[in-house]
Amino acid sequence: MTTKITVVTGATGGIGEEISLLLARNGWNLILLNRDQSKSESLKQRINQKYPTIEVDYYIVDLSIPRQIENIVEKISKQYNSIDALINNAGVLFKKNIFSKSGNDMHFQVNVVRL
C-alpha cells in the first residue's frame, strides 16, 4: 500500500489542526502550509510524537501574496512526484475591507485566489 500525501493550508489551529491530526492518525503524510514558523514546528513535533511513521513537512507562506504561493508550489513540485489531496482550510474574515498589495480585496485574495 502506498502512503498518501496531502497538503493542508492553515493547519496550525482550529479545523486545520484537527484535520491534520486526523489524517496523520489515518496514515497520511502531510505538507502543512502556514504563516507561523513556531506553531508549524510545534504541530510537526506533536504529530511525530503521536505518529512516528508519519512524514510531516511544512512551509511558511502568506496566502495573500501570489509570489509566495508560486514559490511554495515550485518547492513542493521539486520535492514530491504527486500530491493525493489538497485541503484549502486557510481563510480570513475581516470586519472591514482590506486590500492586498496586489490590489485585490483580502477576503478574495486569501479565500479564493490560489494562482
Q: For the chain, give every domain's residue range.
A: 5-111
Q: Tens digit of pLDDT for each residue in 104-113? A: 787 777 777 6
Residue 65, CB-side half-sphere exposure with 13 Å CA sphere: 9
Provide the whole-model pTM: 0.86
Please report, as a single letter, which amino acid is at residue 74.
E
Q: Across the chain, what does the average pLDDT equal?
A: 90
Residue 2 has pLDDT above 80, yes or no: no
Q: Tens digit of pLDDT for each residue in 51-79? A: 999 999 999 998 888 889 899 999 999 99
- Give the closest residue to 81 by CA, choosing from 1, 27, 5: 5
3-class DSSP state of 66: helix
Task: Assign a CATH topology to domain 5-111.
Answer: Rossmann fold (3.40.50)
Strand partners, 39: none
- Give the closest residue to 36 by CA, choosing from 57, 56, 10: 10
Euclidean distance between CA atoms 115 and 112, whole angstroms? 9
Q: Tens digit of pLDDT for each residue in 40-53? A: 999 999 999 999 99
Work out the average pLDDT over 88-111: 79
